[in-house]
Structure 1
Amino acid sequence: MEIWGPITQGQVAFCLGFIPIIAAWVYSELSECCRKHYSFSSRLNSADGLDDFGLRRNGSDSKALLLESGNLRSSSTSVRFFLFDKTFYSDNRLTLRAMSEIGVILVYFFICDRTNLLGESTRQYSRDIFFFLYFLLVIVAAMTSFTIHHDKSPFSGKSVLYLNRHQTEEWKGWMQVLFVMYHYFAAKEIYNAIRIFIASYVWMTGFGNFSYYYIRKDFSLARFCQMMWRLNFFVALCCVVLDNHYMLYYICPMHTFFTLMVYTVLRIFNRYNERGSVIAIKIGLCFLIIIVIWEIPGVYDVVWSPFAFLLGYNDPSARTKYSPMHEWQFRAGLDRYIWIIGMIYAYYHPTVERWLEKLEEAEAKLRISIKAFVVLICFVMGYAWYEYIYKLEKYTYNKYHPYTSWIPISIYICLRNITQSFRSYSLTLFAWLGKITLETYISQFHIWLRTGGPDEQPRKLLSLIPNYPMLNYLLTTAIYIAVTHRIFQLTNILKSVFLPSRDDKRLVYNIVITTIIVMILYTLSWACLNVPKMMG
């Protein structure tokens, strides 16, 4: 087996951590099997049999479920791990299983993308096949997962909520399918549409985070850490195991940055957030900060150069070389304003909801006239945007995108919510896919496509069935979706374990212990790589 690229310190550290974890999990599973076998034998041999066994089992299982559900409660957790405490391994079996699964998945990523064990093929674009596959999925989704939701607005309880969760998840889902298919088939002709889809995701970052913090007012350490975990846990592991820079997965730093901006803006003087004038000032400051950084020459370099170690990136296989910070300037710059537009939409969300309720209660003639007028305005604006902006060559289009991406997004929102019926319908297959967009984005690079080396963009396809492109597409896609869904589940399982919601003391302890363990692993990996060289 040939490995593309040198073995790195991070990869050795991962192995040093992964091998004990998987060994501990195997040990915990064997211990559990032995425990069940012993309990079963005791049951058969017990004089009071079923009743006594039932009582003992209920008590022990309740305790085990509490421990396995997430919290490593004892302050001597790490000590018990290294002392091979049998009870500890048994109690935390599910946690060890989840950690082992993540490790196995990362090994699979490495085999697919960094070795020659599996084949590769060239991307080929056929407009006919591309849209046939996509609309086939739409038809299947419509026939099998068309759902009518009856969730009422929390503001009045009268109508289906405008921009409800089912709708936004579905929105993310159908966009994500086109996004990853664009990469798989190299469908360059829809480049401008992909830019709109990414802007929509960033819009939802502003909209969703503003709505949460404005309504819930939860600025706790636990909530902040859980938010960062969701965005960066798996991508950080991919960077370590596959020796990639963070910016290869540019969606992750983009969403992290814009999420931090929303959090910071609402966190400062949050007790005054109920005042409209304060929100207006905060939103104005967001615009001002972005304008100063991205629009005034020279400011960008001053602000972002200290973060070059994290955000710097160059594709080794690219013909044209830019400065390491060009990628971040370009990617984040394309959608630098749309997250603020999302915040504005979130702030006025209750107001729009009340307008829609009044509209639904109006007489039929007036209601139909207003809705027809809104639809007409949307089509006129959409046509003008399509003719004069969207059809531009991509480099020219990119210059206008930061200032115009709100137009198609607003048109879609208006048309998608124009009637009660439209608001209540969704295709749950796309909504399901919309929940795993982060995982599908990261995983596509390594188990659906192939990069072929550290920091390289994916330009090849993973080939499990050579010379049968459609069968290969079917098989790799099935594996890809199954794996990404499992990553989503494991990320949430481990989040509940290591980042408890209501125990800040435990949270800080876990962060400190994890940091110490990571430092020890990297120190040992450095020794493994360098001591033999020095002795030689």
Structure 2
Amino acid sequence: MLPAKVEVCVGEGPPSSDGEERASASWGSHRLLVWCHRGAKMLSLARSIRRSFTTDNAKVLSLALIILLLACHSASRYYSDSDSCQWLLSTGRFLENSVWQPDGCMMHNYSRWEASTCLGGKKVIFIGDSRIVGLFASFVNIIASKNFSLRHVDAFFTDNSSSVQVHFLWHPWTNNDMKKRLISLFNARIKPDALIIGAASWTIKDFHASAKALHQYKENLMSMSASLEGLAEHGEVYWHIQEPVRWSALNPGQKKITNEQIDLYNEAAVEVFKTGNSRIKLFGGSRQMGLQNISDIADGLHMAPRVRDLGAMVLMNSLCNKVIRPIDGSCCQNTPPLTFLQKMLLCVFVVTTLVFLLLNFLRKLPHQRPMVPDLESLEEKKPGAEAVCGALCRMGLIMVYFYLCDRADVFMKEQKSYSHSAFFVPLIIVFVLGLFCSESTKESRVLNREQTDEWKGWMQLVILIYHISGASAFIPVYMHVRVLVAAYLFQTGYGHFSFFWLKGDFGLYRVCQVLFRLNFLVLVLCAVMDRPYQFYYFVPLVTFWFMIIYIVLAMWPQIVQKKVSISALWYLGILLKLVGLVLLICLFAYSQGVFEITFTSWPLSKLFELNGNIQEWWFRWRLDRFAVVHGMVFAFLYLLLQKKQVLSETRGEALFSAKVSLPLLLLSGLCFITYSVWASNCQTKEQCNEIHPYMSVLPILAFILIRNIPGFARSVYSSFFAWFGQISLELFICQYHIFLAADTKGILVLIPRNPSLNILVSSFIFVCVAHEISLITKLLVQLF
């Protein structure tokens, strides 16, 4: 049945048996007209929404979302009195690849060196039953590779290099013996820096799960609480919440230990220790892990080694995150104090905002007011000053958002966990969207502006999906994304070479303009986020290569298309410069000593050092060392062929003749397949990275030829990808702090417990912020 409205519009019902064919055709044509009319209305509505929903409206919406989310997260922290330590100790879930994810914060995987550094000279004591001894053994194994047999006796470990002491004291019942041991620890001259205590299963088993035993258990906990609180004044005290059991696997003597009994004993412990002023922390992380892995409990009582190891790592994070302050461990970390530079920037932001408000106020005053006698002269200067102050004011607000996302303890953060669906599903969606937004290019030459913007756009979207899905763990994807980074550098060489060839502008203004455009956002972030310049490795990389390109091309013979006569000697000079650049690159690449001497000397060391050394710069520079030269050589050959009128760049026509185009297309496809097969068969990243500088040019050139040889392909582009390509630099840099989190180690969580909605909201805000920063940078590069 069709809706009543449609039936009235058509004017007749379904066809009757009389004249069935004619009536059926009539009814079908009417129905088709109705649905076409509806489709036209929907299309018109979509176009109307598209026209009304501009970037300005999107930014207003994103600002409203930020304010709302900030208010919600702040209220949640204030009223629920929840912090990342509580999330770490009591909540969590398993992600892909058995990664444990506490709710709202990131857990760091401690190395032996980090654990020994944090616990150096400290004393950690475990007290309890056979479950606690397993946790003790896993904890010791983080500090040193030592395996303890899980026996029902006291055990002691001392690390001679760091003077860490870790003891296990066997007390399977919460009785007077345990109470006396706690009193002796409290009265001891050297009190433990951390105490992990817990017991219940033996009490349930030995007293046959009686109600009287449960009551006595609670009474004993209350009598021990004073000693535990006293120990908590000196160090950390954790009460171990009992994990579940797999009842079917228990031996007959343990059948009284049921999950119902475990829950009752846990509730008793929570009731005793979870009071308003108690310093005792409830450690329930391993219980959450056990609930999600009950089938892995082999003997029914003791957790699987994997769960014990994760529980020990939770404890290590709780004890050490405030000391070590790892980048990828946001649990139990407070907001760091503001540096002097951050305070100065905050003052500049406040002053700029006040000046901007003052200029707006003066602009609204009537000209004839006697209190502003020189308003006409002010009007001449007002637009520049107001534009600068307005841009700086907006930039300041954006930097506040950056700080709140990735430095302040306001929004949540989560760990990455790679799965094929997390990477390939959004990748397919993005490319489908891009294909639906095809338009004709304004020009049809090779690598025209729309095409290069499109190229940068889809590459940037792939890199964003790659980063947020943690796909670097999958070597084939890692190697293909490495090609995308090389392609960016290829475009750097191609673009700057082409500019200097066509414009011949080697002036200081051009240099300052490019340097400002590349570095403005990064320099601001270095100050706001308290990070060194090299931390944002891609910008130092493209800045370095721009200066190299400028120096090489500015030397005689300069590459200028407008030269009246260009001799063979001139071409030879250009080739010699390119060959000399390749030789210089090889010198630095194969002589790390020369590289280190060059870049560790002042002032270059201040630009290229990270964590006190240049290893990161050495790795990044060496990985794509030939990509820029490849782009320069391609630009030289292309512009030369264009000058000689060898290419056919008319719209719709193939770039070469059919005899040349078809073999080149087949060769390009073969290059793609060859590279993908090689990348998929690499065993380690180190092995792949050694060959990558020589192989990356093959898929890049193959893509350019496939994209440009067919005339129809060269004449269209995706406006969707091109839009993102215009802000690709801002997207790449901003992702560090407001799309990802913890300096790219994790994921920013604005909408908890809903990963899909969280990605949509954070992506929307992230793109709006990047677009606004792009506009601000373009404005300031003109004014400054």
TM-score (norm 2): 0.53
The equivalent residue for 1:303 is 598
Separation of aligned partners in 2, 1:488 and 1:9? 27
Deviation at 1:297, TM superposition (A): 4.2
* Aligned ranges 1:432-447 → 2 under 5 Å: 432-447=723-738
Give the residue type in structure 1 aligned to 2:408. T
Q: Tell me, what secondary structure is at the counterpart of 1:356?
A: coil
> More relative contact order in 1 or in 2 (CA 8 Å, sep 6+)?
1
Partner of residue 185, structure 1: 469
Spell out the pairing of 1:50-61 with structure 2 (5 A cutoff).
Answer: none
The corresponding residue for 2:404 is 111
Q: Is the 8 A contact 1:336 1:402 kept in 2?
A: yes
Q: Tell me which residue corresponds to 2:233.
A: none
Distance in 2, matches of 1:18 and 1:423, equals 46
Structure 1 residue corresponding to 2:341, chosen from 7, 10, 27: 10
The residue identity in structure 2 corresponding to 1:347 is: F
CA distance change for structure 1 residues 469 and 362 in 2, over 3 Å: closer, same or farther?
Answer: closer
Q: CA deviation at 1:347?
A: 1.0
Instruction: Name the CA distance, whole Å, in 1 between partners of 2:729 and 2:336.
Output: 26
Q: CA distance change for structure 1 residues 382 and 417 in 2, over 3 Å: closer, same or farther?
A: same
The verdict on how the C-alpha distance between 1:174 and 1:334 changes in structure 2, with shifts beyond 3 A counting, is same
Aligned to 1:320: none
Q: Aligned match of 1:337 in 626, 645, 650? A: 626
**Alpha-carbon contact 2:352-2:392 (below 8 Å) kept:** yes
Cα pair 2:730 2:774 within 8 Å, conserved: yes
Question: Given the alignment, which residue of 656, 674, 678 partners 1:388?
Answer: 678
Q: Does 1:172 align with 2:456?
A: yes
Structure 2 counterpart of 1:285, which letter?
G
Q: Distance in 2 between matches of 1:288 and 1:438?
A: 30
1:256 pairs, out of 543, 548, 559, with: 543
**CA offset at residue 413 of structure 1?**
0.7
Is this contact kept in 2: 1:162–1:423, CA < 8 A?
A: yes
Unaligned runs of 5+ in 1: 40-58, 71-91, 152-159, 315-322, 452-456, 499-536
Q: 1:360 deviation in Å?
A: 9.6
Residues 69 and 497 of structure 1 are in contact (CA less than 8 Å); yes or no, is this contact kept in structure 2?
no
Cα distance in structure 2, aligned partners of 1:462 and 1:362: 47
Alignment deviations for residues 68-117 of structure 1 (CA, whole Å, 9 cap, x no partner): 665xxxxxxxxxxxxxxxxxxxxx22221111111111111001110111
Match of 1:480 among 766, 769, 782: 766
- CA offset at residue 228 of structure 1? 0.3
Contact 1:207 1:343 in 2 (8 A): yes
| Distance across 1 between alignment mates of 2:467 and 2:361 | 43
SS at match of 1:117: coil
CA 1:215–1:446 in 2, change beyond 3 Å: closer, same or farther? same
Amino acid at match of 1:446: H
Matches of 2:428 and 2:631, distance apart in 1: 29
Match for 1:403: what amino acid? Y
- The alpha carbon displacement at 1:248 in A equals 1.2
Q: Structure 2: which amino acid aligns with 1:5?
A: P
Give deviations 1:190-240, integer Å, cap 9, x for gaps.
111111000000001100001111221111111111110011011000000
Match of 1:204 among 491, 495, 499: 491
Distance 1:350 1:466, change over 3 A: same
Q: 2:579 aligns with which of 284, 294, 319?
A: 284
Instruction: Name the structure 1 match of 2:745.
Output: 459
Distance 1:489 1:359, change over 3 A: closer
Q: Going by fraction, where is helix more abundant, 1 or 2?
A: 1
Q: In the aligned structure 2, how far is the partner of 1:483 from the partner of 1:305?
A: 35
Q: Counterpart of 1:146 in structure 2: which amino acid?
A: S
Instruction: Note the C-alpha offset of 1:388.
Output: 3.0
User: Is the contact between residue 214 and residue 266 of structure 1 (CA under 8 Å) also seen in structure 2?
Assistant: no
Write the letter of the residue equivalent to 2:590: E
Determine which of 653, 660, 669 is the counterpart of 1:379.
Answer: 669
The unaligned stretches of length 5 or more in structure 2 are: 1-73, 75-332, 370-374, 561-565
Give the C-alpha shift of residue 13 in structure 1.
1.8
Q: 1:187: Cα distance to partner?
A: 1.2
Take 1:276 and 1:217, find their aligned partners in 2: how far apart are those partners? 16
User: Tell me, what secondary structure is at the counterpart of 1:121?
Assistant: strand
Q: State the AA in 2 paired with 1:182.
A: Y
The residue identity in structure 1 corresponding to 2:490 is W
Instruction: Choose which of 698, 702, 706 in structure 2 pairs with 1:411.
Output: 702
Distance apart, 1:129 and its partner CA: 3.8
Q: Percent identity?
A: 29
Conserved 8 A contact 2:654-2:710: no
Equivalent residue letter for 2:515? M
Structure number with larger C-alpha Rg: 2
The more displaced of 345-354 and 470-479 is 345-354
Aligned pair in 2 of structure 1 residues 493, 361: CA closer, same or farther (>3 Å)?
Answer: closer
Cα distance change, pair 400–181 in 1 and its aligned pair in 2 (3 A) = same
Aligned to 2:440: 148
* Aligned: 1:26 with 2:386: no
Structure 2 residue corresponding to 1:293, chosen from 572, 588, 597: 588
| Conserved? CA contact 1:235–1:442, under 8 Å | yes
Corresponding residue SS for 1:415: helix
Which deviates further from its counterpart, 2-11 or 228-237?
Answer: 2-11
Give the aligned CA root-mean-square deviation in angstroms: 2.6
The structure-2 alpha-carbon separation of the partners of 1:312 and 1:362, relative to structure 1 and needing over 3 Å to count, comes to closer
Question: What amino acid does structure 2 have at the position aligned with 1:343?
Answer: M
Q: Select the residue among 370, 373, 377 that pairs with 2:660.
A: 370
* 1:146/1:425 contact within 8 Å kept: yes
2:531 and 2:516 mapped to 1: Cα distance? 19
- Deviation >6 Å, runs of 4+: 358-364
Contact 2:504 2:559 in 1 (8 A): no
Is the CA contact (8 Å cut-off) linking 1:389 and 1:400 kept in structure 2?
Answer: no
Amino acid at match of 1:296: S
Deviations 1:320-370 (A, max 9, x none): xxx721000000111111101111111112344433319999999x93333
- Choose the corresponding residue for 2:391, options 98, 101, 114: 98
Look up the SS of the partner of 2:447 in the other structure.
coil
User: In the TM superposition, what is the alpha-carbon distance from 1:416 to its structure 2 partner?
Assistant: 0.6
Displacement of 1:121 in angstroms is: 2.2
Which of these residues, 429, 432, 436, is aligned with residue 720 of structure 2?
429
How far apart are the structure 2 equivalents of 1:363 and 1:142?
Answer: 21
Mapped partners of 2:653, 2:760: distance in 1: 50
Greater alpha carbon shift after TM alignment, 465-474 vs 17-26:
17-26
Asked if structure 2 preserves the Cα contact closer than 8 Å seen for 1:390 and 1:397, the reply is: no
Q: Of residues 116, 123, 131 in structure 1, which corresponds to 2:424? A: 131
Counterpart Cα distance in 2 of 1:200 and 1:148: 24
* Contact preservation (8 Å) 1:290, 1:336: yes
